[in-house]
Structure 1
Amino acid sequence: MVETIAVLGAGPAGLMAAYELAKAGKTVTLYEKRKVEGGLCGTTVFEGKHGTYRFDFGGHRFITHDPDLLQLVEDLVGDDLLTAYRKSVIRFRGRTYAYPLALGNLLKTAPTALLAGAGLDLATLPFQKPDNTSFATWIESRFGKTLYRNFFEGYTAKLWGIDPKNLSADWASQRISLLDLKDVARRLLPTRDATPRTYAHSYRYPKYGFGVIFEKIAREFERLGGTIRYETQIDGMECNQNQITALFANGEKIVADQYISTISLPDMVRLCGGTSALKFRGVRFFCMPMETENISDNTWQYLSDPHIMATRLQEPKRRSPYMSPTGHSSLMLEIPCDPDSDLWNMSDADLFKRACIDLDRLGVPSKLATGEYFSTFGAQAYPLMSVGYEIEREKAIAYLAPFNNLIQCGRQATFRYIFTDTAMEMGQMAARSVLNGQDCRRAIFDHRNERTVIETQSVA
């Protein structure tokens, strides 16, 4: 019988697993390496000269098809859970395109050569077979070379740090909300149904930042008798043939009957004595208070030009007006880079200079910056879905499978690009697996892993 449970990581999946187990009366200790809960769904508070600013780790929105999960979040956050609306644009070569594509904007904005090339591709694509060899071939065989070279190639290479020919087609099939160039053409027509089928216009968002959801879950977990040990780094695991017998953290040996882990899949393999070739893409989030009430009406701007260091520009107050002091705004630049790279190691002062150059190029006056800035980092922000990653992922899953008291869940731990609600559902599945005495590990790894777009309209 499982008496004591150790949950590793206080992000969405770990917190949900710990909460469900504590609610069932189990003895649970949650170990978190940072000073606060939330993981990459946390919110950082910055006290500036004009007041309090709040920045998430990237751009989060709560969308879900699960009414019970929505009800839980609504109950925990209460009246501070707002409804927000998304508006996005694509910035490329000095032009601003509406996202999703709209016929009037495209005809008015796109250069003649791009429109002509896309038209020619539209005429020839019906004679090509879909090619799923890589991200590049997936896009070219469905959308044509013109759109690939203009909107996908440079942005994707900047985001992942690799040639799109070496990126798995899975990334395209799960992230591109249109089927092919014919679908683009159909949806550009001014009809009521012209919006891509999976575009979530509205979403729920806490008044004081996305991390509030997980702060509330953490406090409820503690109220139920659970324990959270912050600033606890997992250094190793003690294993026998089919059991995790102990873990080592901050020089201490910790023994539990069951281990639920949100530690990344390759890191857990290494902690248990194995090797893994799986890799992640890191992101540096550069945060800047601004001396203006509003920058734009866009939730985020996709920055496709390769010479612009960021991939997205976000204005946090577009999600909630309470993310900045009254009369002021802020910006966040999402800069893909890996640990120990030049961009990762660059000082905030030097990065601020580069950010100002990029903002001026984008038509956002850098003189509006207050001169305050800071960075947050996500070393394992995105699973790197390079060609052949599925084989390495299965090797890692197989290596950990014999340890029958270890359950992996969450984005990093299952090596999946998933949204927050899916990570929370994985945590719930892990908890129920323990409570019911059933091995659901494979189901957790495969949860919502269909080869379709994973952003869906929320029940909210």
Structure 2
Amino acid sequence: MTDTQSVVIIGGGPAGLTAAYELLKDGGAARYNVTVLEASDEFGGISRTVKHNGNRMDIGGHRFFSKDDRVMDWWKNILPLQGAPSYDDKKLGRVHDLEPGGPDPEKVDEVMLKRHRVSRIYWHGKFFDYPVSLKWDTLKNMGFAQTMKVGFSYLKSLIHKLPEDNLENFYINRFGRALYGMFFEGYTEKLWGRRPSVISADWGSQRVKGISITAVLKDAWDKLLGKQKKTGEGETSLIEEFWYPKYGPGQLWETVAKIDMGNGCTILKNATVTKVNEKDGAISSVVYRDSQGGEHTVYGDVFISSMPIKDLVNAIDAGESAEPVSKEQLTIANGLPYRDFVTVGLLVDKLNLKNETSIPTLGNPPIVPDCWIYVQDTSVKVGRIQIFNNWSPYLVKDVDNKVWIGLEYFCNEGDDFWNQTDEEGINFAIEELIRMKIIGSKSDVLDAHRERVKKAYPAYFDTWYDMDKLTPWLDSFGNLYCVGRNGQHRYNNMDHSMVTAMEAVSNIKSGRKDKKNVWSVNTEKSYHEAK
């Protein structure tokens, strides 16, 4: 081993760019020669920001909040927290705790905003808090008969617990069958394209741990008594405020990439890894294809991969390897399921949704304050609607007079929906909004953009159940680390992906051989936004 180690990082998303940053900070270039290979021409993976005619789209929506203080401090170090009100907060008199000495977002671009979180469920033309809260509006929107049905269904779930061997039973045990049918069943099937009864309960346990009717009742009682909401006491408290880069998540990762390159990192865009070569039980090199179709080989001492496990295993199988993957392991890798993603951005003058909350918003009439609207109506395909104005006023060119929204669809690469032309996909989205009476007609739409994302969501079914037969083989290559959402085939949030990279770098620097700390990130049974 030479004094300087060559580290090859596959992927320029949160995990890959974090790994490069952690290796090269504090003069790390003296010890590590780092190369990042990014298959696209953008940074951030699914955490990128798409620019279209002066407006910006956040692919999938990214709230910057973590229960890991390392990550919070990391973000704040890259983009400092705002020290003065943002445009909309200033205009509307909305209040946030501001950072003493922090930058003014009206004057500085490299700044992290503090934003109010509002995400609600849209069911039969009515809004419900997400997660459901126990208040008069909730009972009024459900109606007496449905409220009674929900109540008795929940009582039954307390007495008769189902075995939690699938996601459906997991939800029913916490909410009762009636509420599950209202707010979980249809949406989950939209998201995954499968019945919740065939999806592992592990997904639910990581996403909604602590959210239950018991938590709703306790929260309502605490509010009645004037108690402050606490976190970290076993039950989940969904955050009411989050951080957000002025120009969306992609801004942060573009900034990190610049810092990485300034610290000595070589970053190659449009570099698709096609082969991974092995020698003497370790990875020796990778072959990537450039945008012109030319092939190049990059040698290294250490390799960090955030590429999908399916693609990684096939790349190793296609390369030179003395330890070939078995037929069973290749079958597992090729059977790993993903859900792909299409988002359609639409620019309109207004939405036919009244702001009946106490939260002031921009627009004439004022828009609803939601970041996300979860669409539980199974008669339409759209799963969520983002209102980009509420994520950051700087995502919208004319934030005072226009509403820039994103309709989020879940599908499979190659299916009929995925294969639609941009015009067909945009028209489909517009027709659904009209059917939901959120806009009046096609003429209300002033501009539109469609974006497709492959392998957006690693899924917890099919050969995922056999992952424990595949990961030991990957770990047998001592100098290979699998990180990130697709790199581990785990529904990681952005902060989890970053932590897998931090743990991998920690192992590289310390010489630790055991990779359990890398794989164990986000396996605890706790909600991703509990702190």
Normalising by structure 1, we get a TM-score of 0.93
Distance 1:160 1:388 in 2: 15
The equivalent residue for 1:198 is 237
CA shift, 1:169, in A, is 0.7
Distance 1:42 1:14 in 2: 14
The 5-angstrom pairing of residues 300-311 of structure 1 reads: 300-311=372-383
Q: Is the 8 A contact 2:5 2:33 kept in 1?
A: yes
The equivalent residue for 2:407 is 333
2:340 is aligned with 1:282: yes
The equivalent residue for 1:119 is 151
| Amino acid in structure 2 at the alignment position of 1:452 | S
The equivalent residue for 2:164 is 132
Name the CA shift for 1:70/1:175 in 2 (closer, same or farther; >3 Å): closer
Name the CA shift for 1:403/1:180 in 2 (closer, same or farther; >3 Å): same
The equivalent residue for 2:23 is 21
Indicate which of 86, 94, 105 corresponds to 2:117.
86
- SS of 2:171's partner is helix
The equivalent residue for 2:87 is none
Distance 2:172 2:166 in 1: 10
Distance 2:433 2:190 in 1: 17
CA shift, 1:139, in A, is 1.6
2:313 is aligned with 1:255: no
Indicate which of 418, 424, 437 corresponds to 2:492.
418
Distance 1:247 1:333 in 2: 38
CA shift, 1:359, in A, is 1.3
Distance 1:297 1:180 in 2: 25
Q: Is the 8 A contact 1:63 1:456 kept in 2?
A: no
Q: Is the 8 A contact 1:160 1:384 kept in 2?
A: yes
The equivalent residue for 1:143 is 175
Cα shift readout 1:243-275 (whole Å, capped 9, x = no counterpart): 112111111122111111101122212222241
Distance 2:496 2:247 in 1: 22
CA shift, 1:194, in A, is 9.0
Q: Is the 8 A contact 1:187 1:194 kept in 2?
A: no
CA shift, 1:188, in A, is 4.1
| Amino acid in structure 2 at the alignment position of 1:343 | F
- SS of 2:345's partner is strand
- SS of 1:119's partner is helix
- SS of 1:373's partner is strand
The equivalent residue for 1:320 is 392
The equivalent residue for 2:460 is 385
CA shift, 1:303, in A, is 0.5
The equivalent residue for 2:83 is none
| RMSD value, Cα | 2.0
Cα shift readout 1:202-254 (whole Å, capped 9, x = no counterpart): 11101111111111110000111111000001111112451112111111122
- SS of 1:96's partner is strand
Name the CA shift for 1:286/1:216 in 2 (closer, same or farther; >3 Å): same
The equivalent residue for 2:192 is 160
Name the CA shift for 1:33/1:369 in 2 (closer, same or farther; >3 Å): farther
Name the CA shift for 1:107/1:439 in 2 (closer, same or farther; >3 Å): same
Name the CA shift for 1:44/1:440 in 2 (closer, same or farther; >3 Å): farther
| Amino acid in structure 1 at the alignment position of 2:250 | G
Q: Is the 8 A contact 1:188 1:194 kept in 2?
A: no
For structure 2, the residue ranges without an aligned partner over 5 or more in a row are 81-102, 104-110, 230-234, 290-294, 318-324, 351-362
Name the CA shift for 1:61/1:298 in 2 (closer, same or farther; >3 Å): same
Q: Is the 8 A contact 1:40 1:57 kept in 2?
A: yes
| Amino acid in structure 1 at the alignment position of 2:268 | R
The 5-angstrom pairing of residues 3-22 of structure 1 reads: 3-22=5-24
Q: Is the 8 A contact 1:138 1:172 kept in 2?
A: yes
Indicate which of 133, 139, 143 corresponds to 1:107.
139
Indicate which of 442, 455, 460 corresponds to 2:529.
455
| Amino acid in structure 1 at the alignment position of 2:243 | R
Distance 2:300 2:493 in 1: 30
Indicate which of 252, 261, 277 corresponds to 1:213.
252
| Amino acid in structure 2 at the alignment position of 1:270 | N
The equivalent residue for 1:265 is 309
2:433 is aligned with 1:359: yes
| Amino acid in structure 2 at the alignment position of 1:385 | Y
- SS of 2:344's partner is strand
Distance 1:197 1:67 in 2: 17
CA shift, 1:338, in A, is 0.8
- SS of 2:456's partner is strand
Bigger RCO of structures 1 and 2 (CA < 8 A, at least 6 apart) = 1
Normalising by structure 2, we get a TM-score of 0.81
Distance 1:278 1:324 in 2: 37
- SS of 2:513's partner is coil
Cα shift readout 1:56-115 (whole Å, capped 9, x = no counterpart): 111101112333432332232233211001111111122221223232121110033321
Name the CA shift for 1:71/1:230 in 2 (closer, same or farther; >3 Å): same
Name the CA shift for 1:270/1:193 in 2 (closer, same or farther; >3 Å): farther
Name the CA shift for 1:364/1:198 in 2 (closer, same or farther; >3 Å): same
Distance 1:3 1:334 in 2: 42
Distance 2:216 2:166 in 1: 21
Cα shift readout 1:357-385 (whole Å, capped 9, x = no counterpart): 22123332154744422222221111111
The equivalent residue for 2:358 is none
Q: Is the 8 A contact 1:260 1:408 kept in 2?
A: yes
The equivalent residue for 2:483 is 409
Distance 1:194 1:381 in 2: 37
For structure 1, the residue ranges without an aligned partner over 5 or more in a row are none
Cα shift readout 1:381-415 (whole Å, capped 9, x = no counterpart): 111112773x3221221221211111111111111
CA shift, 1:187, in A, is 3.5
Paired residues in the alignment total 452
- SS of 1:272's partner is helix
The equivalent residue for 1:56 is 58
The equivalent residue for 1:432 is 506
Identity %, equivalent residues: 26
Distance 1:201 1:184 in 2: 15
The equivalent residue for 2:128 is 97
The equivalent residue for 2:98 is none
| Amino acid in structure 1 at the alignment position of 2:375 | L
Q: Is the 8 A contact 1:29 1:228 kept in 2?
A: yes
The equivalent residue for 1:227 is 266
Moved more, 436-445 or 304-313: 436-445
